[in-house]
A and B are shown apart, each in its own frame.
Chain A
Amino acid sequence: MKRIKLLLVVLPLLVMVGCAHPMVISPRVEELPVENKVKVDKVVGYYISAANLALNVESPGGGGDRLAYHPYKDIEGALSKILFNIYKDVYKLKSKTDPKELSEKKVTYVFVPKVSTTSSSPSPFTWPPTDFSVTLDVHALDSSGKQLWSSEVRGEGHAEYEQFKDDFQLAARLASKDAFIKLQKEIEKSNALR
């Protein structure tokens, strides 16, 4: 009985402390567009540094709590997916400028993303974000490292309690889905990336 009383005292105290809630911000890949029937006949790669893949970011949630996630690790699947939608083959690269790797894999363009996020919730009671944004600042380089193209897209997601109660990361998933749909369109309309 003493243990139960102790738990009842300790647990609410722990809840009150502004803690970090691990979550993912990846979109559901099956909700992204399907592969184009006619693809650009080129092999492309993307480069995300090991430091960025391991990067853990914290941003505000509701009730004074924080959200914790790995933005680059979380968006990698979606980035690969939209590149496969457009191009005939896609590689994850160990370096963005290693001529040997680029030559062996016959990579024509190297995409390098920079991810930034914002989050918020007006709720004093629940930690999941009601509003989330994902900004993708993507540069494309040729095999010599020269920048051919760049674009910045911002995706936004909004989810109220009734919507996120089954998926606490819903606003983030919607934001990254929105960002990647916009990014695919930007790449598709670029003549430099044909």
Chain B
Amino acid sequence: MTTAGASNPFPLILPESLVLGQLSAALGSFIKAAAWEVGELFDAVLAPAFGVDWLSENFGGVYTPNLHDPDFVFNWHQPDSILWQALPPYSPDLKNRFGNARRTRNRWEHETAKQNVHSFLNGVDQLRRLADPLTLDVANYGPSLLERAKLLHKAGGVLPPSESEIELQRQKEQAEEARREAEEAVKMANETAAAANQLGVKAAEASKAKEQAVQQLAQVQADLEMLERNLAYAGRASRQSLTEPADDLEPGAPWGDLPLGIRTLTLKANMVDLMDRTTQTLLSQQMGPIATEAAARWLQILPSGGLVHLTPAGHAAGQLDGVYVYLGRLDHS
């Protein structure tokens, strides 16, 4: 129910895990988007009726409230408030729904640390219960958030990495440690062999030890490469098991109103790679060539690189001339 020509600047953020920060960001996107849309609704009706200064003239005091501020929008609006002229007919029930939205906003704004999955689900429900009777466009945020929370709950709280990915990652870290040790062993064996050659003693023995160390390093390296391949397969399977609305988009198409992925990356034109802004690691270090291949494809659409949002299924969106466009999927099929 947005006024013509205005688009909501608060796209839905879907949580990728059930940790508090993710839930707060997700519910926050619903609260801000709903407040923005109701503010537009007020302005569309009240500006023609009372003039463009209706807000300051009717609600201004020391400060004039912000039209889109949840603190102004979500309130127990009194029956005689002019705001009801932009809303469905006054009822105590609808007034309470505004009040409950305010409570939700205040809890997540001022007492975030005390919140949890249950209060998140309740908060989504309270916002939905207000958005539905007002027929807000953002009413669809509610079902999307509830569906994602359910999916995350079933998946044990996190999407991705899957459990198999975590286990493979652990094995990979062990293999990397083993490789470091093997490299050190080769270095020492080289030094010993060189010293033995110089002194002309035990040269054959040192040479054999060096050969063994080199073989050990080759084996560890092969194990590591196999683990990296398995990890890449597991990650790909995890991402491709998800169905998302962006599945139907073609690279370069407008992203539209689809929820942006909460995982943010920097598409790096100079390195043809992606920097995970949360973990501050290159995606190629986590995923190998999948990341650099995706970066090369996405740079054809965004040649200068920049901020990219990645969904759990691996769909990427980035801004081109101020508009979000679909860049493609991490796993090129």
Partners in one complex: no
Residues of A participating in the B interface, judged by any CB pair closer than 8 Å: none
